[in-house]
């Protein structure tokens, strides 16, 4: 592992007309590190994530990504072909709603295999074996491989989406509320799975969530956003146990104690 | 050319023909790329070959000899009507003979007789976009073509193998043209795909409703997509043509009666007729026996094949046989 970060973000801003999406966000992300972005709805978390994953172009600021050859490339200066290639090989994007990230009308196996075929894999047997392997790693029974995700429960769909993203061995995964809309026991299993995969594969991840428990479980570092600005950032345990910004204090104290 | 004054030569006005020719030239320059064009209303409904007719009208000249086939046949409604149309509006010679035609407009077949340099094959295309049923957004499919992102095409083939144990796509089988664009060869049976590869004839594709023209120039690489462990293969038939005994040709099933009687005959009527009229012709491999006159009448009324019947035998069926 090198001493260089995987992603360097500097003064990133996105405006929707005169409205602020996110404003002057800077941070570095190191390989294998999980960064949580927390904040209430409308605080600019998802805008930031979409800018970083090049799904949106920012109004100003830069983001450079260290490619597999060790060279930093400016994301917003890459051609669309290069960005899309990065998106389906070295990156993953886990949507809150699995239907956005899956092809709902093709089988689970094909969903997992699509990225392999997109990078030129042309051996059916190998693609299928990889799909079987990945389904088992996300705890989906092998006999569901030919079922469409439409026949899957919410938790299974989310796990399938994760398998589909990780099959090409990405180095960076973006997650937008990965546990949103799931009931607590399914959430717990999913978080457990994610934590295992992230550790095993040494993934770097940027996780957007409004759920502080998710942030605490998954991430080493976190950024708290409000009104498009980062109000506090630091190690997750430090931020949650000793919040400094008034807004973070409010957020932490708002957690419902059961 | 006295009685065609009511229309411009070949129906379309000259400006339209120039516009279509420009699209065709662009298509030839970028093999397999779908060129948008301003498709005109034609005196026939969409789905009846408006794209093919416009392409033919734009390239046809007074000296051309036109052949029109519909699923291989020269004598079905669509083929007869389009042939009559051009006879009327362009006053050109028409034929059913593949070898002597200079332009062959086709709906979903490539003739069995090998095409030669100088011939033009014009396809009628209903849906030009091979990715359409996988990705409904036109903006996205165009981007995928532009960036050569064709992984999705293999997802379809993967699904076939997962569901059926083999690639079950039998028509409109996707091909890659000259190593670049993935193209829908129109709903021809995949049996005809190998004929497109390095064909000496120019192949033009017109989709009237979808407003797209594309082309495969002569001697262009046309490779059917497949998997390493599930290679592309064409349909095979257990029996030869019941009329001309041709083997290794594409056969149509013809239902003979209400009792399940059927036979398989050449889909290419011109090919079949030629073989029957000249059974010893060296052109067709010279099979004297079995072809034409040697037809065994009993094969025309073969026994019902249970596997081919969708409906259960109904009451009173086959009674008159007793």
DSSP B144-187: HHHTT--HHHHHHHHHHHHHHSS----BS--EEETTTEEE---S
Q: Which span out of A135-144, A148-157, B16-25, B307-316 was modeled with the highest average pLDDT?
A: B16-25
Read off the pLDDT of residues B228-241 as tens digits, 9 standing for 90 and up. Answer: 999 999 989 999 99
All residues of chain B having their beta carbon less than 8 Å from the beta carbon of residue A167 are: none
**Contact call for B149 and A118, based on CB within 8 A:** yes
Nearest to A124 among B134, B143, B229 (CB): B229
Say what the pLDDT of residue B270 is: 94
| Spatial CA neighbour of A131 closest among A163, A173, A175 | A163
Rounded Cα distance, B224 and B218, in Å: 17
Examine the residue annotation and report whether B260 is marked as an active-site residue of this protein.
Answer: no
Provide the pLDDT confidence category of residue B36 given band limits of 50, 70 and 90: very high
Quote the distance between the C-alpha of residue B247 and its chain's center: 19
DSSP H helical segments within chain A, as ranges? 45-52, 80-89, 98-101, 108-118, 124-137, 154-166, 184-201, 212-218, 236-241, 246-253
Long-range pairs for A131-135: beta carbons < 8 A, 24 or more residues apart: A131/A167, A134/A163, A134/A166, A134/A167, A135/A108, A135/A109, A135/A160, A135/A163
Kindly identify which residue of chain A lies nearest to residue B229, measuring between CA atoms. A123
Q: B10-26 burial by CB neighbour count: b if 16+ within 10 A, else e?
A: bbbeeebbebbeebbeb
pLDDT for B281 equals 52
Q: Is B52 a catalytic residue?
A: no
Contact A80, B147 (CB under 8 A): yes
pLDDT class of B289 with cuts at 50, 70, 90: very low
Q: Taking CB atoms and an 8 Å limit, are B151 and A114 in contact across chains?
A: yes
pLDDT: which is higher, B296 or B36: B36
Q: Which residues of A touch B161 (CB under 8 A)?
A: 124
* Confidence class for position B279, pLDDT limits 50, 70, 90: low
- What residue in B sits closest to A113 (Cα-Cα)? B155
Which chain A residue lies closest to B154 (C-alpha atoms)? A117
| B159:A106 CB<8 A | yes
Q: ipTM of the predicted structure?
A: 0.84
Q: Sort strands A19-29 and A7-16 into parallel, antiparallel or unpaired.
A: antiparallel
**Residue A113 DSSP label:** H
Residue of B nearest to A120 (CA): B151
pLDDT category, A196, cuts 50, 70, 90?
Answer: confident
Determine contact: A149 vs chain B, CB below 8 A.
no
Tell if the CB–CB gap between B155 and A113 is shorter than 8 Å: yes
Closest residue by Cα to residue A111 from A150, A156, A144, A149: A149
Question: With an 8 Å Cβ cutoff, are A118 and B227 in contact?
Answer: no
Question: A146 at the B interface (CB within 8 A)?
Answer: yes
Cβ contacts below 8 Å, chain A against chain B, sum to 56
Measured between alpha carbons, how far is A134 from B182 in angstroms, rounded to an integer?
29
pLDDT above 80 for B79: yes
- Taking only the tens place, the pLDDT of each residue in A100-122 is 999 988 999 999 999 999 988 99
Name the band, by pLDDT with cuts 50, 70 and 90, for residue B278: confident
Question: Does residue B266 have an active-site annotation?
Answer: yes
- Cβ-count burial of B282 within 10 angstroms (0-12 exposed, 13-18 middle, 19+ buried)? exposed
Which of B5-19, B51-65, B204-218 is the least confident region? B5-19
Q: A188: pLDDT confidence band, cut at 50, 70 and 90?
A: confident
Q: Once rounded to an integer, what is the mean pLDDT over residues A37-66?
A: 92
Instruction: Using CB atoms, pick whichever of B147, B149, B229 lies closest to residue A123.
Output: B229
Distance CA A253, CA A126 (A): 51
Percent of chain B with pLDDT over 70: 84
| A131 pLDDT more than 90 | yes
pLDDT digits (tens, 9 = 90+) for B108-161: 999 999 999 999 999 999 999 999 888 889 999 999 999 999 989 999 999 999
Given a contact cutoff of 8 angstroms between Cβ atoms, the answer to whether A166 and A201 are in contact is yes
Catalytic residue among B72, B241, B260, B292: B241
Contact list, A128 vs chain B (CB under 8 Å): 162
Candidate list B32, B49, B52, B260, residue with the active-site label = B32
Cβ atoms B237, B171 nearer than 8 A: no
Whole-number Å distance between alpha carbons of A66 and B62: 64
* Contacts A145 to B, Cβ<8 Å: 162
Integer Cα distance of B90 and B83 in angstroms: 10
> Quick one: pLDDT band at residue A147, thresholds 50, 70, 90?
very high
- Residues B260, B311: contact at Cβ < 8 Å? no
Residue B315 has pLDDT above 90, yes or no: no
Spatial distance between the Cα atoms of B265 and B240, rounded to a whole number of angstroms: 8
- CA dist A83 and A89 (Å) reads 10
Q: Is B111 helix (H, G, I), strand (E, B) or coil?
A: coil
d(CA B71, CA B66): 16
């Amino acid at each position: 592992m090198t001493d260089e970060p995987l992603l360097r973000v500097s003064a990133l801003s996105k405006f929707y007309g005169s409205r602020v999406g996110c404003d002057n966000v800077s941070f570095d992300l190191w390989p294998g590190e999980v960064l949580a972005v927390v904040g209430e709805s409308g605080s600019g978390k998802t805008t930031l994530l979409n800018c970083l994953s090049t799904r949106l172009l920012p109004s100003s600021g830069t983001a450079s990504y260290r490619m597999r050859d060790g060279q930093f490339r400016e994301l917003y200066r890459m051609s669309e072909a290069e960005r899309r290639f990065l998106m389906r090989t070295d990156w993953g994007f886990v949507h809150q709603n699995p239907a956005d990230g899956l092809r709902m009308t093709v089988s689970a196996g094909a969903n997992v295999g699509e990225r392999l075929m997109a990078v030129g894999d042309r051996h059916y047997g190998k693609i299928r074996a990889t799909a079987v392997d990945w389904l088992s790693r996300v705890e989906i029974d092998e006999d569901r491989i030919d079922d469409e995700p439409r026949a899957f429960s919410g938790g299974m769909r989310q796990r399938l989406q994760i398998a589909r993203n990780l099959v090409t061995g990405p180095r960076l995964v973006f997650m937008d509320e990965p546990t949103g809309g799931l009931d607590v026991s399914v959430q717990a299993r999913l978080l457990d799975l994610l934590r295992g995969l992230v550790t095993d594969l040494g993934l770097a991840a940027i996780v957007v969530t409004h759920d502080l428990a998710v942030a605490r479980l998954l991430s080493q570092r976190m950024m708290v956003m409000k009104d498009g600005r980062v109000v506090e950032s630091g190690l997750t345990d430090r931020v949650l146990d000793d919040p400094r910004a008034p807004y973070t204090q409010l957020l932490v104290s708002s957690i419902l104690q059961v | 050319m006295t009685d065609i004054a009511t229309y411009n030569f070949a129906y379309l006005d000259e400006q339209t023909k120039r516009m279509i020719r420009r699209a065709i030239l662009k298509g030839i320059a970028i093999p397999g790329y779908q060129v948008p064009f301003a498709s005109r209303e034609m005196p026939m409904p969409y789905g009846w070959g408006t794209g093919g007719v416009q392409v033919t009208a734009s390239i046809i000249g007074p000296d051309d000899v036109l052949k029109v086939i519909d699923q291989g046949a020269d004598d079905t409604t669509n083929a007869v009507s389009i042939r009559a149309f051009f006879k009327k509006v362009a006053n050109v010679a028409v034929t059913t003979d593949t070898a002597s035609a200079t332009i062959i407009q086709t709906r979903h077949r490539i003739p069995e007789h090998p095409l030669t340099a100088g011939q033009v094959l014009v396809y009628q295309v209903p849906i030009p976009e091979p990715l359409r049923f996988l990705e409904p957004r036109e903006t996205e499919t165009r981007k995928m073509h532009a960036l050569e992102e064709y992984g999705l095409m293999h997802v379809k083939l993967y699904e076939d193998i997962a569901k059926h144990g083999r690639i079950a796509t039998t028509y409109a089988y996707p091909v890659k043209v000259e190593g670049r664009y993935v193209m829908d060869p129109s709903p021809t049976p995949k049996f005809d795909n190998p004929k497109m590869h390095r064909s000496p004839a120019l192949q033009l594709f017109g989709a009237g409703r979808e407003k797209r023209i594309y082309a495969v120039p002569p001697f262009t690489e046309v490779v059917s997509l497949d998997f390493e462990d599930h290679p592309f293969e064409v349909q095979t038939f257990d029996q030869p043509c019941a009329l001309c005994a041709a083997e290794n040709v594409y056969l149509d099933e013809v239902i003979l009666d209400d009792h399940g009687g059927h036979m398989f005959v050449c889909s290419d009527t011109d090919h079949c007729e030629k073989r029957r009229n000249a059974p010893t012709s060296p052109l067709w491999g010279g099979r004297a026996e079995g072809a034409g006159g040697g037809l065994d009448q009993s094969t025309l009324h073969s026994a019902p094949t249970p596997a081919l019947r969708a409906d259960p035998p109904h009451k009173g069926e086959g009674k008159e046989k007793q």
